[in-house]
Amino acid sequence: MDLLALSPSSVAGQDLYVPANDKLIGARVIYAVAPAMGHNQESHPESHLRVPSILNALQKMELTPEPFSAVFVAFCLGGVHLRMLEILFQQVASVACDNMYRWLWEFRGSEIIELQNFKPASVDDIASIHSRTYVSGLEKAMDEASQQDIIYIEGTGPTYATASTFQESLIAAGAGISLVDSVVAASKKSQDQPIGFALIRPPGHHAIPKGPMGFCVFGNVAIAARYAQRVHGLKRVFIIDFDVHHGNGTNDAFYEDPDIFFLSTHQDGSYPGTGKFDEVGQGDGEGTTLNLPLPGGSGDIAMRTVFDEVIVPCAQRFKPDIILVSAGYDAHVLDPLASLQFTTGTYYMLASNIQQLAKDLCGGRCVFFLEGGYNLDSLSYSIADSFRAFLGEPSLASQFDNPAILYEEPVKRLEQAIKRVKHIHSL
């Protein structure tokens, strides 16, 4: 297990921090962690324990290095003691690294690598999607948040801020940007292209250009899409959003853009009430937004059918340069905030199929972004099984899924929904 320096490079005057070229060869997964531990409200469903729980599951399934993960997770969960910190500092101090702020952790040979201490997104990066008035207003609100501990930044909505929210949201967006840099660099060096996964919070797909919404502060996937276009010249971006809730913020950001295709599957009638069949984009962007509301109770059968009959033909016709994924795990049957019936196996299928789609259409360039998922067990093990899919290893879903709790899917209503969306989009 080694701690590896990131190599700075430049594209169009933009400093990029990506793994050294020799480390990209053989990598299968590159992931970044931004847990936003200071952005926390007690009993809020978008818990500060989400990312630590994911890291713990990755470690238990022997996908990430135990010495680091155990210390990090213990620290996040409040159980770290001095001896554990001493061990961690000894590990860090024993490594010579030219840049102490940008590291990579390597494990399982070079199959899985973690980007660490990447640069936060800049205000200019955020302003590619959000109004500068909103961005500056949120930054100024941190003084009030530090005095009151928690403030609400969405009017009567559930989105809050603490004193660290602004900076931690920049870090989350920066994780996505850094992963775009990494997968683009890898696509130039290796035929076995790694996939990126941003294990980040706050989530982003509800955040609208003018402000926060639905637990989301900045539109992480939208910011990364604009960055991919601006910095890497990846003109055509295909965004898949399989969160149980409609990604209205991403939808709105690109509603008139013909070069970014936004495709969302979500539970019909769920928050925030947007994402209807007839929301297809407008102006030059007409036809590059596809919304498929799934009937309540839809599960694995539904999503396999949707992938084959809707997602694949849309992506093939669009011919993307990169695929970005708003990966929400709240469609899981155990999740408390909705009533779809995805399973761990469903998410394994999606991870595997999206990875293959990216290989077929855009040189494997693909980055996943954590969105929702509020049952810590189903969230954690679904993501861990997604990592196994990326590695081409068999699913362990049978260890976590309980078929006895599933009920019959609404096949007829699903068929009608698919038929309708295929008609609207001429699929």
Active-site residues, by number, are 206
Pull the structure tokens for residue 164: 């660290």
- Across-strand partners of 14? 11
For residues 144 and 141, what is the distance between their CA atoms, to the nearest angstrom?
5
What residue type is assigned to position 12 of the chain?
A
- DSSP letter at 105 equals E
**Residue that is written with structure tokens 């590159």 in the block:** 30
Return the number of other C-beta atoms located less than 10 Å from residue 317's C-beta: 12
Q: Name the strands in the sheet holding 103-107, side by side, starting at the edge strand that comes first in the sequence.
A: 14-19, 3-11, 103-107, 112-116, 29-34, 195-200, 366-370, 322-327, 237-241, 260-267, 289-294
The residue to which tokens 């080694």 are assigned: 2
Distance CA 310, CA 298 (A): 15
Name the CA radius of gyration of the chain, rounded: 20
Whether 369 contacts 198, CB under 8 Å:
yes
Distance CA 295, CA 411 (A): 9
Question: Burial level of 89, CB count in 10 A (0-12/13-18/19+)?
Answer: exposed
Angle at 319 between CA 198 and CA 227, to 5 degrees: 40
Q: For the residues of 185-235, what is the DSSP string, one character each?
A: HHHTT-SS--EEEEEESS--TT-BTTB-BTTBSS-HHHHHHHHHHHHH---
Residue 6 dihedral angles phi and psi, to the nearest 5°: -85, 145
Question: Please, are residues 119 and 136 in contact by the beta-carbon 8 Å criterion?
Answer: no
Q: Among residues 237, 210, 425, 235, which one has the least CA distance to residue 326? A: 237
Please state, as a whole number, how many other Cβ atoms lie within 10 Å of the Cβ of residue 326.
27
β-strands 112-116, 103-107 pairing: antiparallel
